[in-house]
Amino acid sequence: EIVLTQSPATLSLSPGERATLSCRASQSISTSLAWYQQKPGQAPRLLIFDASNRATGIPARFSGSGSGTDFTLTISSLEPEDFALYYCQQRSDWPPPMFTFGQGTKLEIK
Amino acid sequence: EVQLLESGGGLVQPGGSLRLSCVASGFSFTGYAMSWVRQAPGTGLEWVSGISGSGVSSFYADSVKGRFTISRDNFKDTVYLQMNSLRAEDTAVYFCAKDLGRRDAYSFDDAFDLWGQGTMVTVSS
C-alpha cells in the first residue's frame, strides 16, 4: 500500500504570501497525484490532477508540480478564502485499485 | 445543474445496517466510476469503495471488506452503499464522489472532480 505523507501539518501565513505544501509518496507514483481543498462543513474540492493540471474553475494562483515521490502544491499569493485544509490523493492498481489520501495540511491565517 | 445528492445516513446501533444512496444529475452517469469516501469527526479522508461505470468492477478498502457492498442503478443515476455489521469506527460523514471519467466503463480514473455534500452515519448504542 502506498502511503502519502503531507508536510507541514499546519502552515501559518498571511494573505498575500506564498504557500508551499508538500506531499511525499512511499514509492514512485509517476504523476498520478491529485490535490483537494476542504473548508469546514464542506465537501472536498478538486484543485489539481495528474500532479500539475488545474481542475475546471480553479484560479491560476494554484499550481502543482512534482513526479515520482515528491509533490508540491503552491499558492502564489494567498487570498482570504484559501485558508482551509488541503489533501493530496493517489490511485494505485495494487491490485485491486484503491485510493489513498494524505493526512492533510491545515493552512491557517497568521 | 451537475450535482450529487446523498441520503440515508442516521444513527444506528453497533451491528446494525444502513443503506446510503447518492443520486447524480447533470451528467451522463453511466460514463463515470463512482466512489464513497468517508471522514470521521475531526480526521482526514478515507476512501471506502468504488464501482466502475458499467457496474462490473467494484473494490473496497480493507477496513470495510466483507461488510459493505457498493452497487449502482444506471437507470436511476444512483449509487448505493449497503453497510452491514456496523462498528463505532464506521462513524463518519460519507461522501459520494465522481471520478474524472477519462477511462473506459470498466476502469477507474485517478481523481474525483465532483463530490456530494455528505451524509452523517453515527454508530452508537
How many CA atoms does the CB half-sphere of B77 hold within 13 Å?
Answer: 12
Burial profile B87-112: b = 16 or more Cβ within 10 angstroms, e = fewer: eeebbbbbbbbbbbbebebebbbbbb
CA angle B121, B43, A17 (to 5 degrees): 135
A96 has a pLDDT exceeding 80: no
Contact across the interface for A43 and B44, Cβ inside 8 Å = no
CB contact under 8 A, A44 and B35: no
Is a pLDDT exceeding 80 seen at residue A94? Answer: no
- Alpha-carbon gap: A63 to the closest alpha carbon of chain B (Å): 16
Our separate counts of H helices and E strands in chain A read 0, 11
Across the range B105-125, mean pLDDT stands at: 94
Between B47, B117, B118, which is nearest A99 by CB? B47
B52 has a chain A CB within 8 A of its CB: no
Residue of A99, A100, A103, A106 to mutate for B, most B C-beta atoms under 10 A: A99
Average pLDDT over every residue of A12-30: 96
* Banded pLDDT at B106 (limits 50, 70, 90): confident
List residues of A whose CB lies inside 8 A of any B CB. Answer: 32, 34, 36, 38, 42-46, 49-50, 55-56, 87, 89-91, 96-104
Question: Does residue A95 carry a pLDDT above 80?
Answer: no
Measured in degrees and rounded to the nearest 5, phi and psi for residue A72 equal: -135, 135
Report whether A5 contacts A104 (CB < 8 A): no
Task: Measure the CA–CA gap between A82 and A109, rounded to whole angstroms.
Answer: 9
B44 residue type, one letter? G
